A = this chain, B = another copy of it.
């Protein structure tokens, strides 16, 4: 996928991933960018997340992102903080930038020292180009597919986004690593005002396994190379890109065979609707039923009930793949037909709580034996 004007990207093999696949990547803008950043709320956050927050507070424009995959550089103490700063210095020196304009990110196994010497040796091999694909491929860990999305504004400005993540994916933070770049001219203030809202409706509504990563970050950066844009149109495009990435993230959840989309309407507020939708998308019992094509809607009701939002079962309506299953009371339905309708790439649950105007959507995936297998043996 072609990058917006003024951006370049590249990657190489540094030998951090045991597989020998590309694992070190650069994303660079020719000029300083306005940017916004949301990082994980996990209290064992990695040094790169803390450093990102510091850079944001320092207020300089962002010009490059350096990412290594295969090692999260988390719970690695003083050495980890040093290694993270060193990775920024090395990338900055190579790109002839100030280290304060280079954001770092690490993703992979927690608690193993980051081999900075490998990064130092490999960085000069990176050739920058106009496509984001090599960057995307290098930042993947257990991801099976690259996740990219784009949108073009009426002015010709473009928005291009990538994200990685497949396990340790849960709400209340940005999801793993997501980078959205645009050549639109948008001020730093405007970006920071709007970014959290988009993240709340996209990445924060994805759940694979309720485990919140220590290294999550979602970054939005614009270099203005394509000139000014209509702000409403810009944010719509950013949200469209992020929702598309969020859906891809859920569909590629570890071991997943299906995308699970949960739409809640009639909640007391949008926030309650999003919370209820996420509770259904995260329920291991409902996710297992989705895997088994079992229209066991009682588990949807259970998950709505535990969500911590206003709920009156007698007012709830539940629809699965368009088939009404419950409407304040148990409905008659053809179980075999409902089960067959669940044998699809995407399973859609709609729940109308009947209490207000709030609406929200969440994305998840089915829970399969594959998730267990992938995670029973990951470090060893």
Residues of A within 8 A of B (CB): 41-45, 72, 74-79, 109-113, 167-168, 170, 209-214, 282-285, 288-289, 291-292, 294-299, 301-307, 309-311, 313-314, 326, 328-330, 335, 339, 367-369, 371-380
The answer for the CA separation of A323 and B163 in the assembled complex, in Å, is 37
Given contacts A76-B330, A339-B380, contact A44 B375 (CB under 8 A): no
Contact A306 B75 (CB under 8 A): no
Contact A335 B380 (CB under 8 A): yes
- The CB with the most chain B CB atoms within 10 A, among A41, A110, A311, A376, is that of A376
Which residues does chain B contribute within 8 Å of A313, judged by CB atoms? 43-44, 75, 77
Tell me how far the C-beta of A370 lies from the nearest C-beta in chain B, rounded to whole angstroms. Answer: 9
Q: Which of B110, B303, B339, B379 contacts A301 (CB 8 A)?
A: B110
Tell me how far the C-beta of A274 lies from the nearest C-beta in chain B, rounded to whole angstroms. Answer: 17
Which residues does chain B contribute within 8 Å of A326, judged by CB atoms? 75, 111
New A-B contacts (5) at CB < 8 Å, excluding given A110-B296, A112-B330: A72-B298, A210-B282, A210-B283, A292-B377, A292-B380
Which residues does chain B contribute within 8 Å of A72, judged by CB atoms? 298
The answer for the CA separation of A37 and B239 in the assembled complex, in Å, is 48
The answer for the CA separation of A83 and B66 in the assembled complex, in Å, is 63
Tell me how far the C-beta of A275 lies from the nearest C-beta in chain B, rounded to whole angstroms. Answer: 12
Contact B77 A329 (CB under 8 A): yes
Given contacts A326-B111, A329-B77, A330-B75, contact A302 B377 (CB under 8 A): no
